[in-house]
Structure 1
Amino acid sequence: MSHPARRPADPGSDEHGVAQAPVVRLVAAPPAGASGNDQVGAGVDPGTYRGVFRRHAAGVTVVTLDGPSGPVGFTATSVASLSLEPPLISLSVSSVSSSWPALLHADTVVVHLLSDGQDDTAQRFAAKGVDRFAPPTRWTRLPTGEPVLTETAAWVRARLEHRIVTGDHRLLVARVLQAHVEDDDARPLIYHNGRYGTLTVDDRP
C-alpha cells in the first residue's frame, strides 16, 4: 500500500428511539471459568484499542441518504459485505453521530466505494459543520429519490433492515437492492494509520 503524504422516544426505546426498528442488544458474557478478578478478556483502554486498529487497512466509502431536511452523507470505513444470499451489507455508526437521527428513520442508503484520488471527497464527508453536498461535490438523485455521487467507480443501494445497539455504536444491516459498477479497473481508496492511500499491485509471479 502506498500513501499520499432524535420524535420522542417510545416506552422501552433508548434515547435515540431505536425501538422504532428491529433491535438486538448485544451483551458480552465472560469467558468460561473466568473470575471477577480475572483480567484476561477484561478489555483494553480506548487508546490501545484505537492504536491497534490504526494498523488495519480499510476501504473508504461515503454513505448517502435522504434526510428530513435534505441529503445526508458521511464517510465510513466500517462497511462490510455480510452475506451473499441474501445480499447484505453492514456498517457501524457512532450513537452520537450527527447522521444517526436520519439513519434511524431512513428506509434506504447508497454506499459509494471511493477510488484512489478521492481523498478530498472522503475528507469533505467526514468534516463537521459544512454543507457536504455543496460544490465541488457533484451529485444527483436516483429515480428512487436517494442522493448519489456522480463520480464514484461503484455503489450499492440498500434497504436498512436492522439497527443493532452494541457498545457506543449502532450496527446497521442492509439488504442490497441495486448495484452499479462504473470502472472495474479503479484502484480503491484505503485508510490506514491516519492516512489515505491505495494498493500497489505486485505483478511478480
Structure 2
Amino acid sequence: MPVALAAASVASISVDPPLLVFSISALSSAAEVLAKETTLVVHSLDVHDIEVAKLGITNGIDRFAQGPTWAQLATGEPVFDGVRAWVRCEDIERVQSGTSTVFVARAPESHIERDSEPGQLSDGLVYHNRSKHRLGECSAIESGHAK
C-alpha cells in the first residue's frame, strides 16, 4: 500500500550527481513503510496543489483512497497527478538523528508540470506556523535583483 507525508523541508545538495536531502520523523504514520523502501517520490507543490498538501498533513487517513488522483510510475512509486513537479529518488544514505531519519537520495528521474520564468512570480506554497501560505510579491523581504 502506498504512503504519503508532508516533509518539513527538502533541499538540493548536489547537481552532479543530483542529490536531495530530507528528514522523516519516526512519529510519522509513513515512517515504518518508508524504512523498508529504497525508492520514493518527492512532490514539489504550489498553491494549485493545496488538496495534495492537505492530505500530507492530515493524520489517520488513507491518503490515496480519496481526493487527488494518482498513478504508479513504471518503477512502481506512486505519483499524484498534475502536481507542480516530482522527483523520483533512490535512497543512498540514512542517518538517525534524534527522533528523525535524514535521507540522502539520488534523483535519477524528474518531471515539471508547471514552472515559472526566471525572475517572474510563481505560486509557491509554504507551510509555516501551522498554516499554508502563498508566496508572492508582498512576501518578499528583499529583492535579489540588481537594478
Instruction: Quickly name the TM-score band, shorter chain normalised.
Output: 0.7 to 0.9
Structure showing greater Rg: 1
Give the structure with the higher percent strand.
2
Structure 2-normalised TM-score? 0.84
Alpha-carbon contact 1:113-1:188 (below 8 Å) kept: no
Deviations 1:93-112 (A, max 9, x none): 11232211211111111011
Structure 2 residue 136 is the aligned partner of structure 1 residue 200: yes
Where do 5+ consecutive residues of structure 2 fail to align? 117-121
Query: TM-score, length-normalised on structure 1?
Result: 0.61
Instruction: Give the structure 2 partner of residue 90 of structure 1.
Output: 21
3-state SS of the aligned residue for 1:121? helix
Instruction: Report the more deviating stretch, 144-153 or 91-100.
Output: 91-100
2:68 match: 137
Q: Is the 8 A contact 1:74 1:125 kept in 2?
A: yes
The percent of aligned pairs where both chains have the same amino acid is: 38
Match of residue 178, structure 1, among 109, 112, 121: 109
Q: 1:158 corresponds to which residue?
A: 89
SS class of match (2:74):
coil
1:169 aligns with 2:105: no
d(CA) in 2 for partners of 1:127, 1:106: 22
Instruction: Point out 4+ residue stretches in structure 1 off by more than 6 angstroms.
Output: none
Aligned residues: 136
Alpha carbons 1:156, 1:176 under 8 Å: kept: yes
Greater RCO structure (CA 8 Å; 6+ sep): 1
Contact 2:12 2:21 in 1 (8 A): yes
